[in-house]
Structure 1
Amino acid sequence: MTPGLPELLSRLPGDPAIVHPLIALAMAVTITLIASALARFASPRLRRRFRALGEALAGHMRPILHHAIAAALMAAALAFWPIGDFAHLILGAALALSLSLLAIHLLRSLAIPRLAVLPIAVLLFVMVLSGSSGGFAPVADMLDGVGIGLGKRRITLLGLVSMAATCVALFALVRLANRIVGRSITRAHGLDATQKLLAQKLAAITVIVAAFFIGVDLLSIDLTAFTVFSGALGLAVGFGLQKTFGNLIAGIILLMDRSIKPGDVIVVGDSFGWVNKIGVRAVSVITRDGKEHLIPNENLMTQEVENWSYSDRNVRVRIPVGVSFDSDLKLAQDLMLRAAQESPRVLRNPKPNVWLTAFGENRVEHDILVWISDPEGGVGNVKSDVLNRLWLLFREHGIAIPYPQRVIHSSIDRPRPQ
């Protein structure tokens, strides 16, 4: 019969009180090195295989994998080591440290604040260490003994710690699920940008609702106790949060009917710019001045909106030009057309055109009509480029641009000679 680990340890020479802890320490160091090597080998392969998960963990894939492997190997070693030995406590401390570091990297990769991460890591370390050294029951009884009574319920320190840990864990899971689902939808084929954004928002709402009910079940919260509170909340939503929920529904409708999409160039009142993103409450519109206007979603549903790229991204720009009556109109019109064609942002198809629109008081009015396909790059700079080129061409060919003139006739009564 093959001897077990206790028999093998009893046959080792030397004092067991010294040899066993040294062996346990050597095992902990060896397991850490093995876990580091395995994580270095497997991390890039897992990142390529599960790209969405790797991006969601924000560069913490390797340390998370390292501490997860170390914790699994430590748990296996701890299971075979005799209980009650000091070496067992060393392996338990190594396991607790690995799990705590794993929790820290997991939570920090999800942008959880340090003030919430460190207490969770310390609590996990104490729980695992106490469990490996005789059970968590004494610690739990101590935490449960500290509390106060509120009516028929008793609030204990153990309950508060459990609630805080559950809320942080659910919050981290919600963020992780949203990141994984969001990045998976982003790389999905067959969906345009608007459909992807709508799918991401619906998935985020679904994850939050599911996490809420899971949290209620884990914390054993009796929802019947919130009947009166839910009625008051309904009134608050009906009156105080009406605009907020109206903007939320309006944003979902905008994404569903695809009338406004990220990247569209829109004009709402005095705001002109391209849509950066459609949020839960407002649409972000960035102007050519670099200012970001946050327009409530409900305003886009009720007000008149000009969408320059709703069905076609091509936009026609009108550039008024006047020349003197003494100029060669055919030559001037050819030069206008040439200046438009030489501008880099002007499209060749549809081709530019020049219209004679009116005979003014002191000049012949023309409109240069050009088309651009990138209105988010601005309209004024296109006009400026065409007019600059036209100015040089007019000066080169002697075409005059008149300026307003006024002739004032006055009669002054002179004194008659005596």
Structure 2
Amino acid sequence: MDPTQISDALTSTGSQVATLLSNLTRQWNLYQVAIMVLCLLAALGAGRVLGGRMREWMRTLEGHPKWQLRVLLSVQKRLWLIFWAAILWAVWLVMHETTWPSRSYLIAGLAKVVTAWVVVSFAARLVRNSLLRKIVTWGLWAYFTLYFLGGLDQGLALLDSAAVEFGAFRLSLLSVGKALVVTGLLFTLARLISGQASAQIRKNEDISPSMRVLMTKVLQVSLYASAFFIGLKAVGFDLTGLAVLSGAIGVGIGFGLQKVVSNLVSGFIILLDKSVKPGDVISLGETFGWINALGARYVSVVTRDGKEYLIPNEDLITSQVVNWSHSNNYVRLDINFGTAYGDDPHLVRRVAIEATQSVRRVSQDRPTVCHIVGFGDSSVDYVLRFWITDPTEGLTNVRGNVFLALWDAFQAHGINIPFPQREVRVLGDSTGAEDAPKDTVSPAGPRES
């Protein structure tokens, strides 16, 4: 830091502050200060009373969009500031018409400052990051305050004098503040543009879902990176040294964050080869669900019970994944059942197929088949195979509906579903061979005694 520059800036600022204080000691200036304080007290009182009533009214609103409620909440929090600006302008208009302009110029200056504060407070809401929003808000408040009070040049000179130099590189508080404010504004602009463009991309049905996600990610990265570097360049940073430094940092990050980089690269591979896309139903290990979103580092998979699993992209590349809807939405399901030996197998097959095809979700485009697969100890065993086209709606529920349809159809046609039974006879003399337990099967079903 250059002590001479700092001393000159402080001297200039101090003399201006002394001049301002000397002007305030004049009689009419003191009156204006008192009027401004009274206006502030009136605004605080009105904001407190009407703010509470407005909050109670907002609680009665139902069915309104969230953005409208956010706007109303922002207005409610800043009611006192809005009232202060309005009261100051009203007082200035009255005094400007009834007395000399020199007797109301301080009120006019403060009205401009408070109005600028109100505008900045609402405009800064576009910046989502809370820390960056506070920096932008306070930076613009300070800028407009100094601008309307006539101390902008001295304030900028004071911030510019507080600097650190490394050879040809000079970093001052002024350049840092400019960088934060400009970068924050550019980031907000990039977010608005990417949001609108992403919405248009998602609506385009001619683009595959995976390509929509890829285009959205590339657009967002490009816009935010451009905003960052343009913001640095706009305030005078030399990007040559930053490029060399970022290259060295990139090598170190590459070794320390191999898994993270692997997931990022895997994410782009997944988007390019279209192996999975939002809406697909997949199975990975014991996880079964549909893909909710494709992220840069992970894939969000939602199961039927509402659990959301964040699966790293690398696992989808290196592990065996069952994609139930990769090339088409047809999924075949198998159901095993058995009937009594006394039932006609031809009738059983026909009734089972008809009952299955009566279920709503069973596809009529592909045939339902029923085959005998064996003669068991107590039943003739069958396998029933049918197709569905909406695996995202669940598999267990459609199986349950088919089982219920089979039960109703078998009851209507007198078809029995047997199960093993055992008769145990306890005799007085346990030495005979007839005392041993006997396994039998009843065609109408088992009994146990």
TM-score by shorter chain over 0.5: yes
1:197 aligns with 2:226: no
* Contact 2:233/2:239, CA 8 A, preserved across alignment: no
Shift of 1:239: 1.3
1:209 aligns with 2:225: yes
The structure 1 residue matched to 2:392, chosen from 376, 385, 405, is 376
Shift of 1:156: 4.2
Q: Secondary structure at the match of 2:289?
A: strand
Measured in 2, the distance between the counterparts of 1:205 and 1:124 equals 27
Q: Which residue of 2 aligns with 1:230?
A: 246
Unaligned segments of structure 2, at least 5 residues: 1-27, 37-65, 76-81, 83-88, 90-100, 433-449
User: Could you report, residue by residue, the CA deviation over 1:235-268 in whole angstroms, capped at 9, with x for unpaired residues?
Assistant: 3232112221221122122112212110000111
AA in 1 matched with 2:220: A
1:161 aligns with 2:177: yes
AA in 2 matched with 1:380: T
Shift of 1:280: 0.2
Question: Structure 1's 56 and 307: CA in aligned 2 closer, same or farther, altered over 3 A?
Answer: farther
The structure 2 residue matched to 1:339, chosen from 317, 337, 355, is 355
Question: Structure 1's 110 and 134: CA in aligned 2 closer, same or farther, altered over 3 A?
Answer: closer
User: Could you report, residue by residue, the CA deviation over 1:274-326 in whole angstroms, capped at 9, with x for unpaired residues?
Assistant: 00010000111111121111111111112221111111112111111111111
Aligned residue pairs total 347
Q: Which residue of 1 aligns with 2:122?
A: 105
Measured in 2, the distance between the counterparts of 1:99 and 1:313 equals 58
Deviates more, 1:173-182 or 1:276-285: 173-182
Shift of 1:117: 2.8
Measured in 2, the distance between the counterparts of 1:222 and 1:362 equals 85
Unaligned segments of structure 1, at least 5 residues: 1-16, 26-54, 68-73, 75-83
Measured in 1, the distance between the counterparts of 2:68 and 2:187 equals 14
Shift of 1:60: 6.1
Question: Structure 1's 118 and 148: CA in aligned 2 closer, same or farther, altered over 3 A?
Answer: same
Measured in 2, the distance between the counterparts of 1:391 and 1:277 equals 40
AA in 2 matched with 1:112: N
Measured in 2, the distance between the counterparts of 1:120 and 1:90 equals 26
Question: Structure 1's 224 and 196: CA in aligned 2 closer, same or farther, altered over 3 A?
Answer: closer
AA in 1 matched with 2:342: D
Give the TM-score of the pair, scaled to structure 2: 0.67
Q: Secondary structure at the match of 1:358?
A: strand
Measured in 2, the distance between the counterparts of 1:185 and 1:58 equals 28
Give the TM-score of the pair, scaled to structure 1: 0.71
Measured in 2, the distance between the counterparts of 1:59 and 1:369 equals 54
* Contact 1:255/1:261, CA 8 A, preserved across alignment: yes
Question: Structure 1's 86 and 247: CA in aligned 2 closer, same or farther, altered over 3 A?
Answer: farther
Within 5 A, what are the aligned runs for 1:338-417?
A: 338-405=354-421, 413=431
Measured in 2, the distance between the counterparts of 1:184 and 1:103 equals 30
Q: Which residue of 2 aligns with 1:14?
A: none
* Contact 1:147/1:156, CA 8 A, preserved across alignment: yes
Measured in 1, the distance between the counterparts of 2:386 and 2:374 equals 19
Measured in 1, the distance between the counterparts of 2:284 and 2:112 equals 59
Q: Which residue of 2 aligns with 1:319?
A: 335
* Contact 2:353/2:368, CA 8 A, preserved across alignment: yes
The structure 1 residue matched to 2:160, chosen from 144, 148, 152, is 144
* Contact 2:283/2:323, CA 8 A, preserved across alignment: yes
1:297 aligns with 2:290: no
* Contact 1:57/1:106, CA 8 A, preserved across alignment: no
User: Could you report, residue by residue, the CA deviation over 1:89-135 in whole angstroms, capped at 9, with x for unpaired residues?
Assistant: 6555555445444443333244232x543443343233224323435
Measured in 2, the distance between the counterparts of 1:85 and 1:179 equals 50
Measured in 1, the distance between the counterparts of 2:319 and 2:67 equals 38
Within 5 A, what are the aligned runs for 1:13-92?
A: none
Measured in 2, the distance between the counterparts of 1:227 and 1:207 equals 18
CA RMSD of aligned residues (A): 3.8
- % same residue: 33
Q: Which residue of 1 aligns with 2:86?
A: none
Q: Which residue of 2 aligns with 1:248?
A: 264
Measured in 2, the distance between the counterparts of 1:140 and 1:129 equals 12
Measured in 2, the distance between the counterparts of 1:121 and 1:251 equals 37
